[in-house]
Structure 1
Amino acid sequence: MPFSSAIASPKLLLQLFISTIYCIFESAFSKLRYWTTGACKGTKSFVSAAGHKLNENNEETATIPTSVNYHFTRKCNYKCGFCFHTAKTSFVLPLEEAKRGLKLLKESGMEKINFSGGEPFLHERGEFLGKLVQYCKQDLQLPSVSIVSNGSMIKEKWFQKYGVYLDILAVSCDSFDEATNQLIGRTQGRKSHLDNLYKICNWCQEYKVAFKINSVINTFNTDEDMTEHINQLNPVRWKVFQCLVIDGENAGESALREAERFVISDQQFQEFLDRHSSVSCLVPESNEKMRNSYLILDEYMRFLDCREGRKDPSKSILDVGVEQAICFSGFDEKMFLKRGGKYVWSKADMKLEW
């Protein structure tokens, strides 16, 4: 060995030793930092420096994206004052990229996909949505494919073309009084939101799609009794949400909405639930249950973490994969199960009378 190399070797060994110690401390710090009270829920676990979920025995586990809500567009033709996923961008992934992400989710264990917005029927007049619905049911063979819509853009010809691939269609309706819907912003021009609701309910029956209703309870409808109308429409589920404030979406300086005037107390929400306790299909979701118990993908296919009262995005699953991205979703799997997030969601298993 040359003399110069012999002199240099101790220095190289020292640098290697320091580098190794640094990596050990960096790994330990990363594990401490991402210890879950938050990120990857299920068992008591933490996220390693590599982004993998580990349990107490230092064994890798993974959060399974059983049910995913994909908000592929933020654009909407309504202006609901409490909306917490507003039109901050107009971006929509190309169809093939969206399909690639959906396939990644299926390979990671997804059983149910829910398409939402914005208004999902607005982009390409529902054709983009229809192609995604068909792909998920026909190609990916998902047990459940569902949509949440305001109902204003849905045409019967969409059901004729794509209804066979859809398990559940949820239409948002916050009041059975047209004037109240006007105050909330769930309207467009002189079109009747309620006429659309009943029309779509009939189409769902005709084309064998399970019909669902979503309602956000707020200051304008908290005293309303919707029992008669809900019983008449007879949805498979009536999802009743407490108005939720998300910084940067419907509250704060950068927000496109000001939802504070729509917010109700926990007591008011409970009084609404008590008034409708006879409705068998009612599924209540308070802010506590709702905030962290949904896996939400935005238009870039990034999981959104709502634990801090805002929507902090992960990296896109298209760039880093599902397993790594989901560790930064803030998903509370225990609350997901507690609120009844897993239910009979395939229309083939619902035993409905069409």
Structure 2
Amino acid sequence: MMELFAPTAFLLCAALFAFLLAINRFRLYNKLKEPNNNLCATENTCCGGINSLKCELPAGKLPTRMPTVLPSDEYAENVVPLSVNYHFTRKCNYKCGFCFHTAKTSFVLPLDDAKRGLELLKNAGMKKINFSGGEPFIVKKGAFVGELVKFCKQTLGVESVSIVSNGSLVSERWFEQYGEFLDILAVSCNSFDADTNEKIGRQQGQKSHLISLRSVRRLCADYKVAFKLNTVVNTHNKDENMVEEIMQLNPCRWKVFQCLLIDGENTGPDALRRAESFVITNAEFDEFLRRHNDVECLVPESNEKMQNSYLILDEYMRFLDCTKGAKEPSRSLLDVGVDNALNFSGFDEKMFFKRGGKNVWSKADMQLDW
């Protein structure tokens, strides 16, 4: 009896093993079919695009390019790109010594491609878009960013549409055409002293940065656009007292950043800027904050808070991962979709919320006294 049972038991075990193996193969096949599967996030020539059902490489060939940074084990798969910063140009008319997004290319996406990418982001959950550079108003004298602003607000219905600018190229004509679609205009101002601005590089010929700043402030009030200030604290302005000037300008928010080094941008052998001499200590940054403690609209951001808590898109609509101190680009979301590109963004969602990234960001909700 036992002699007959042994072969039967063996056959049953073999059949069970084959059945389990078939299930695992079926699961793997289904995984490869998923549009957002990272196994298919290679070049389109290799995978037939993000919507292909199979991921077959040509014989003897490897993917031509893969992101060099792997997704973090702590990355949350359900991250929603609530707030995105789109640096659509690297060109600028200023030469700030600590600039962390320098003119390494002159590329700007065609307007229709940029709009397509913005629509993909909106469909993925984006509620705030911030256009930055470089200098956003340098492309087609502001018409390019104007059309993007109008598209995001009027067509996509994005809650908050903002721009960060140095203010030197902003005109009343632009406000007449696009002002109603813009929620916030942030102007970078690192000093209220002309000599200090010149040392930093915030000057264009004889044109005064401070005159441009006050002109933009007036235009924002006239056209009901929320006015915001950004300041980078560095060795040249760390001892300055800006309380009186900030109070006069009365911005809705004053973002105060600590000067940050980014390899390949403002430090390292391939950098176009050398920002090492602009860097301050944490203690010096804290002292600047204490000096301006009475300014209610002040929002401080140390290097720890800033480095990984922003979703940054470059001029090719690639997310930039800054977790290792440099900017590692993802594939363009135009090629692989938002979810696949987000996997390589290095985005720290917890720090985003901790630093107050989600706030009252639509001018309709700010109840400002124009």
Q: AA paired with 1:201?
A: R
Total equivalences in the alignment: 312
- For the aligned residue pairs, the C-alpha RMSD in angstroms reads 1.9
Q: Distance in 2 between matches of 1:153 and 1:76?
A: 11
Unaligned runs of 5+ in 2: 1-17, 33-38, 40-69
Q: Distance in 2 between matches of 1:139 and 1:176?
A: 39
What secondary structure is seen at the aligned counterpart in 2 of 1:114?
strand
Q: AA paired with 1:207?
A: Y
Kindly state the Cα deviation for residue 353 of structure 1 after the two structures are TM-superposed.
Answer: 1.4
Residue 94 in 1 paired to residue 131 in 2?
no
What secondary structure is seen at the aligned counterpart in 1 of 2:108?
coil
Which residue in the other structure is 2:87 paired with?
Answer: 71
Q: Distance in 2 between matches of 1:251 and 1:35?
A: 25
Residue 279 in 1 paired to residue 316 in 2?
no
Unaligned runs of 5+ in 1: 1-12, 42-52, 54-61
Say which one has the larger Rg. Answer: 2
Q: 1:171-320 counterparts in 2 under 5 A?
A: 171-320=187-336
Which residue in the other structure is 2:343 paired with?
Answer: 327
Q: Is the 8 A contact 2:229 2:253 kept in 1?
A: yes
Kindly state the Cα deviation for residue 34 of structure 1 after the two structures are TM-superposed.
Answer: 3.9
What secondary structure is seen at the aligned counterpart in 1 of 2:137?
coil
Q: Is the 8 A contact 1:63 1:327 kept in 2?
A: no
User: Normalising by the residue count of structure 1, what TM-score does the alignment of the two structures yield?
Assistant: 0.85
Kindly state the Cα deviation for residue 35 of structure 1 after the two structures are TM-superposed.
Answer: 4.5
Q: Distance in 1 between matches of 2:358 and 2:197?
A: 31
Q: AA paired with 2:189?
A: C
Q: 1:21-60 counterparts in 2 under 5 A?
A: 34-37=71-74, 40-41=75-76, 53=77
Kindly state the Cα deviation for residue 63 of structure 1 after the two structures are TM-superposed.
Answer: 1.2
Q: Is the 8 A contact 2:71 2:344 kept in 1?
A: no
Which residue in the other structure is 1:47 paired with?
Answer: none
Residue 114 in 1 paired to residue 126 in 2?
no
Kindly state the Cα deviation for residue 211 of structure 1 after the two structures are TM-superposed.
Answer: 0.1
Q: Distance in 2 between matches of 1:254 and 1:92?
A: 21
**Is the alpha carbon distance of 1:35 and 1:295 closer, same or farther for their aligned partners in structure 2, counting shifts above 3 Å?**
closer
Runs of 4+ in 1 over 2 A off after TM superposition: 33-37
Q: Distance in 2 between matches of 1:94 and 1:194?
A: 33
| 1:5-56 CA distance string (max 9 Å, x none) | xxxxxxxx9xx99x96xx79xx9xx9xx64524xx24xxxxxxxxxxx3xxx
User: Normalising by the residue count of structure 2, what TM-score does the alignment of the two structures yield?
Assistant: 0.82
Which residue in the other structure is 1:58 paired with?
Answer: none
What secondary structure is seen at the aligned counterpart in 1 of 2:168?
coil
Which residue in the other structure is 2:54 paired with?
Answer: none
Q: 2:152 aligns with which of 98, 120, 136?
A: 136
Residue 168 in 1 paired to residue 205 in 2?
no
